[in-house]
Amino acid sequence: MEEEVLGKAYDGRLMRRLVRYLRRYRGAVFVSLLFLFAQSLAQVAGPLLTKLAIDRYLAKPDHPVTSPIDRWLASDTWAGLVQISALYLAALLVGFLCEFVQTYLMQRTGQLAMFDLRRELMEHLQRLDLAYYDRHPVGRLITRVTTDVDALNELWASGLVTILGDVLMLSFIVLTMLQLSPGMTALMLAVMPLVVLVTARFRSYVQQSYRRIRVAVARINAYLQEHVNGMAVLQLFNREERSRADFDRINRDHMEAFKDAIQAYGWFYPVVEFLGMLALALLLAYGSFRIRAGAISLGVLIAFFQYGLRFFRPIQDLSEKYNILQSAMAASERVFRLLDTSPSIASPADARPFPEGPLAIEFEHVWFAYKDEDWVLRDVSFRINPGETIAVVGHTGAGKTTLASLLLRFYDIQRGSIRVGGIAIRELALDDLRRHFGVVLQDPYLFTGTVDSNIRLGTQWIEEEAVEQAAGQVNLLEFVRELPEGFAQPVRERGNGFSTGQKQLISFARALAHNPRFLILDEATSSVDTETEFRVREALARLVEGRTSLIIAHRLSTIQRADRIFVMHKGKLRESGTHQELLALRGIYWTLYQLQYKDQEIANARTIHGSSELPDRKILVPGLSQQSPAGTMDLRDR
Q: Give which of ligand ADP, Mg ion, none residue 348 binds (C-beta under 5 to 8 Å, depending on kind).
A: none
The pattern of x and - marking residues 118 through 157 that bind ligand ADP according to CB under 6 A reads ----------------x-----------------------
Which is nearer to ligand ADP, 324 or 556 (by Cβ)?
556
Q: Is 168 in the site for ligand ADP (CB under 6 A)?
A: no
Nearest approach, Cβ of 343 to ligand ADP (angstroms)? 16
Please count the residues of this chain forming the interface with ligand ADP, following the rule CB under 6 A.
13
Among 441, 590, 560, CA closest to 510? 441
Q: Give which of ligand ADP, Mg ion, none residue 195 binds (C-beta under 5 to 8 Å, depending on kind).
A: none
Among 164, 157, 185, CA closest to 22? 157
Q: Is 625 in the site for Mg ion (CB under 5 A)?
A: no
Stretch that binds ligand ADP, among 3-11, 195-203, 392-400, 615-623 (CB under 6 A): 392-400
Other CB atoms within a 10 A radius of the CB of residue 279 amount to 22
Strand order in the sheet with 389-393: 437-440, 518-522, 548-552, 389-393, 564-569, 572-577
Please count the residues of this chain forming the interface with Mg ion, following the rule CB under 5 A.
1
Which is nearer to Mg ion, 226 or 443 (by Cβ)?
443
Among left, alpha and beta (phi > 0; psi -120 to 50; other), residue 357 is: left
Which is nearer to ligand ADP, 368 or 597 (by Cβ)?
368
When binding is defined by CB under 6 A, the residue of 159, 394, 421, 438 that contacts ligand ADP is: 394
By CB atoms closer than 10 A (0-12, 13-18, 19+), residue 27 is exposed
Q: Is 189 within 8 Å of 151 (Cβ atoms)?
A: no
Q: Sign (positive/negative) of CA torsion 609, 442, 570, 636?
A: negative
Beta-carbon contacts of 336 under 8 Å, excluding residues fewer than 6 positions away, are 14, 17
Beta-carbon contacts of 10 under 8 Å, excluding residues fewer than 6 positions away, are 325, 329
Q: How far apart are the first and last CA of the chain?
A: 39
The pattern of x and - marking residues 398 through 437 that bind ligand ADP according to CB under 6 A reads xxxxx-----------------------------------
Stretch that binds ligand ADP, among 139-147, 201-209, 315-323, 370-378 (CB under 6 A): 370-378
Nearest approach, Cβ of 134 to ligand ADP (angstroms)? 4
Stretch that binds ligand ADP, among 208-216, 345-353, 396-404, 602-610 (CB under 6 A): 396-404
Among 354, 342, 513, 340, CA closest to 430? 354
Which is nearer to ligand ADP, 203 or 564 (by Cβ)?
564
Q: Give which of ligand ADP, Mg ion, none residue 370 binds (C-beta under 5 to 8 Å, depending on kind).
A: ligand ADP
294-323 binders of ligand ADP (CB under 6 A): none
Nearest approach, Cβ of 407 to ligand ADP (angstroms)? 12
Stretch that binds Mg ion, among 44-52, 110-118, 135-143, 397-405 (CB under 5 A): 397-405
Nearest approach, Cβ of 575 to ligand ADP (angstroms)? 15
Which is nearer to Mg ion, 110 or 399 (by Cβ)?
399
Q: Is 515 within 8 Å of 504 (Cβ atoms)?
A: no
When binding is defined by CB under 6 A, the residue of 111, 396, 515, 626 that contacts ligand ADP is: 396
What does the DSSP 8-state code read for residue 563?
A: S
When binding is defined by CB under 6 A, the residue of 370, 463, 464, 618 that contacts ligand ADP is: 370
By CB atoms closer than 10 A (0-12, 13-18, 19+), residue 19 is middle
Which is nearer to Mg ion, 98 or 392 (by Cβ)?
392
Nearest approach, Cβ of 408 to ligand ADP (angstroms)? 13
Stretch that binds Mg ion, among 244-252, 282-290, 399-407, 598-606 (CB under 5 A): 399-407
Q: Is 115 in the site for ligand ADP (CB under 6 A)?
A: no
When binding is defined by CB under 5 A, the residue of 158, 319, 401, 475 that contacts Mg ion is: 401
198 vs 276: CA distance, rounded Å: 12
By CB atoms closer than 10 A (0-12, 13-18, 19+), residue 612 is exposed
Say what angle helices 617-627 and 530-544 make with each other, to 10 degrees: 100
Among 35, 32, 6, 163, CA closest to 110? 32
Q: Is 526 in the site for Mg ion (CB under 5 A)?
A: no
466 vs 472: CA distance, rounded Å: 10
Which is nearer to ligand ADP, 286 or 597 (by Cβ)?
597
Stretch that binds Mg ion, among 69-77, 347-355, 398-406, 412-420 (CB under 5 A): 398-406
Among 322, 325, 343, CA closest to 18? 325
340 vs 365: CA distance, rounded Å: 34
The angle formed by the CA atoms of residues 131, 137 and 138, to the nearest 5 degrees, is 100
Residues that bind Mg ion (CB under 5 A): 401
Residues that bind ligand ADP (CB under 6 A): 134, 370-371, 376, 394, 396-402, 636
